[in-house]
Amino acid sequence: MPIFLNSHDAGFEAQFQTFLGSKRESDSDVDQIVAGIISDVQSRGDAAVLDLTAKFDRLQLTPETLVFSPAEMNAEIAKVPAPEAAALELAAERIRAYHERQLPEDAWWQDDSGAWLGWRWSAVERAGLYVPGGLASYPSSVLMNAIPASVAGVENLIICAPTPDGKVNPLVLLAARLSGVETVYRIGGAQAIAAMAYGTQTIHKVDKITGPGNAFVAAAKRRVYGVVGIDMIAGPSEILVIADKDNNPDWIAVDLLSQAEHDESAQSILITDDAGFGQQVVAAVEHQLLTLERREIARASWHDFGAVIVVSDLDEAARLSDRIAPEHLELCVASAEEYSKKIRHAGAIFIGAWTPEAVGDYVSGPNHVLPTARSARFSSGLSVLDFMKRTTLAQLTPDALNTIGPAAETLAKSESLQAHGLSVRVRLDQINSGRNNG
C-alpha cells in the first residue's frame, strides 16, 4: 500500500526527509556494460551496432537496412487508422504552435561607452532523437523531441527507434514525418546512443542527443555527454496532485494512475488538506486497479512508491510540493491559477481539475519531456532552446576601447596575465599616439 504521512504527526519531518531521499531506480550497475558497448561501437562502427541489435533486439540487419527506406516508411504510415492519424496531426499542430513562441530573438545595441554588444542565436547543426521501442514506443515522444528541434532550425535530424523482433509502430514513423524527420534508424539501446555520438560508417555523428530511454540508454547518455550535448538524464515518471475535498476522488485516482501505469518505478503522490478525501482517493485507486489494462505495473508503482500526504492547509501543501519538485504537478484546488503562483519548483503545472496531466502528454502543447527526481529545482523541460546556442557579440570603436580598455589592462595585471594586458595596451598606445588605424 502507499505510504501515509500527516504533517500533524510529531515525526513527520523525519518521515518526509526519508521519503524525499528514497530511491526508485534500480541499483544494478549497468555502467560497466554500457562502457563496453560504447567502446565496441567506437572501434567497430556498423559491425558492432549490427551485432548488438541482433543480440538485444533479436533483429538481423545490414548496413543498408539500418534505416527505414522511404518506401518502407510509406507502407507503414499507410497502416495508421484515420482517427489516430488525425489525433497525431492535431497534436503536432499544437506542439509546433506552442514551441514557435519559444524562439528567442537576437540582440545588438550600443552602450554608453560606444561599444556595440549583443548576441546571436543559432541552431545546432545535427541532432539525434532517441525513441524507445517495445512497450514504451510512444509516437508522442517523437513529436515532443523532433518538433522543437525542427522549429529551432536544426538542419539534420535523425531518429533511432528500436524495433525488437522486427515489430514496427507505424505511428512512430508517422510522427517522424509530421515532425519533418525522414531518417529513422531501427536501432536502440546504448549502441544507438554511441552511434549517434561517435558516428559509424553509416550513421553520421550528431551534436545533440535527446529523448528518453531505459537505464542503459541513460547511462550511455551520461557517458557521451561532453562529446555531444544531451537534454537530461531522465528517471522514472512522477506526478504530484494537490487536491482539496471539493474534487471527484475518481478523477484524482485515475490522474495518479496515469503515471503509475508507465513504470513499476513511477511515483504518484497526493497532497490534500482533508484526510477523509485522501482515503476516498485511495479506495478509488484500488477500484480502478481491478480493471486497468496495465494494472500489474500500476499496482506495483502505487503500492511500492505511492504516497498520500495530509497537510494542515494548502499553503503547507505548496511548500511541500516545492521540496518534492515534481515532474508533473496538478493543482485541483479553488482559484488554481492564482494558487499556481505559490509554486517555484515543478517541471510542468496543470492548473485546475479540468486539466489532467494526460492531456499534456499529447495535445495541450507544452513539452512532456520534463525533469525528474527533484531536478526541477534547477532545470527545465525540453524546449526549442535545447537545440539552440547563443553566441555573444562585441565590437569596440577606438573611443570605446579608450574608455574601458584601461580597466581591462588593470585586471589583467592583477591576474598576472601579461599578454592579456599587452593586447589591450598596444592598441591604447596606438590611439593615444594619434596613429589611429581604426
Dist. CA 329–CA 240, nearest whole Å:
5
Q: What's the CA dihedral at 47, 51, 54, 59 to 10 degrees?
A: 0
Q: Are strands 3-6 and 307-310 parallel, antiparallel or unpaired?
A: parallel
Closest CA to 425 of 438, 437, 407: 407
The C-alpha angle 32, 38, 39, rounded to 5 degrees, equals 90
Whole-Å CA distances, 221 to 10, 197, 215, 372, 386? 43, 9, 10, 16, 15
State the alpha helices, DSSP H only, in 261-397: 275-288, 295-305, 314-324, 336-340, 357-360
> Look-up: residue for cell 491559477?
337
Annotated catalytic residue within 76, 261, 262, 328: 328
Please give the Cα distance from 178 to 143 (Å, whole number): 8
357 among known catalytic residues: no
Which of 76, 261, 264, 327 does the annotation list as catalytic?
A: 327
Other CB atoms within 10 Å distance of the CB of residue 380? 15
- Determine the Cα–Cα distance for residues 271 and 319; give it in Å rounded to an integer: 11
- Distances in Å between the Cα of 5 and the Cα atoms of 271, 310, 320 are 9, 6, 12
Instruction: Say how many C-beta atoms besides its own lie within 10 A of residue 30's C-beta.
Output: 17
Quick one: DSSP state of residue 205? P
144's grid cell: 515532443
| Joined grid coordinates for residue 77 | 504510415
- Is 125 noted as a catalytic residue in this protein? no
Whether residue 41 contacts residue 200, with contact meaning beta carbons closer than 8 Å, is answered with yes
**Are the C-beta atoms of 258 and 301 separated by less than 8 Å?**
no
User: Given strand 238-243, what is the order of strands in its sheet?
Assistant: 3-6, 307-310, 267-272, 238-243, 328-332, 348-351
**DSSP state letter for 153:** T
> How far is it, in rounded angstroms, from Cα 254 to Cα 233?
27
- As given in the structure block, the three cell numbers for residue 37 are 558497448
Specify the amino acid at residue 110. Answer: Q
Cell numbers placing 19: 521519503
Active site residues: 327-328
